[in-house]
């Protein structure tokens, strides 16, 4: 799952405004706590977000809300998606 607009782009490319809007919509969550992390991330990095980071966010959004919150809070988890380097990059930015 993700955005087909990103398929032919390099991870280091800056995300277009239309791709950013689509990503932001996809990142809406059911738990307020997750939304707070994600909204802060978008407010800080909207202008410099890369295609690779967007791909990492799409992978994170595949997690259930409670699993995502565990990951964001640094709780022990068994989610293998967090091993992806793009996800690791995004998680670092989400937690600062």
Whether residue 3 has pLDDT greater than 80: no
Domain ranges of the chain: 14-95
Q: What is the pTM of this model?
A: 0.88
Cβ neighbours of residue 18 closer than 8 Å, sequence gap 6 or more: 5
Q: Can you tell me the distance from the alpha carbon of 51 to that of 44, in angstroms, rounded to the nearest whole number?
A: 16
pLDDT in tens, 25-73: 999 999 999 999 999 999 999 999 999 999 999 999 999 999 999 999 9
Which fold is adopted by the domain 14-95? Answer: DNA polymerase; domain 1 (1.10.150)
Residue 95 confidence class, pLDDT cut points 50, 70, 90: confident
pLDDT in tens, 63-85: 999 999 999 998 887 778 888 99
């Amino acid at each position: 799952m993700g955005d087909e607009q990103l398929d032919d782009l390099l991870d280091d490319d800056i995300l277009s405004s239309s791709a950013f809007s689509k990503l932001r919509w996809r990142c809406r969550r059911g738990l307020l706590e997750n939304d707070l992390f994600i909204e802060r991330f978008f407010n800080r990095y909207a202008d410099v977000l890369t295609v690779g980071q967007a791909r990492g966010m799409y992978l994170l959004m595949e997690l259930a809300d409670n699993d995502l919150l565990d990951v964001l809070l640094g709780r022990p988890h068994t989610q293998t998606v967090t091993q992806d380097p793009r996800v690791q990059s995004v998680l670092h930015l989400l937690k600062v």
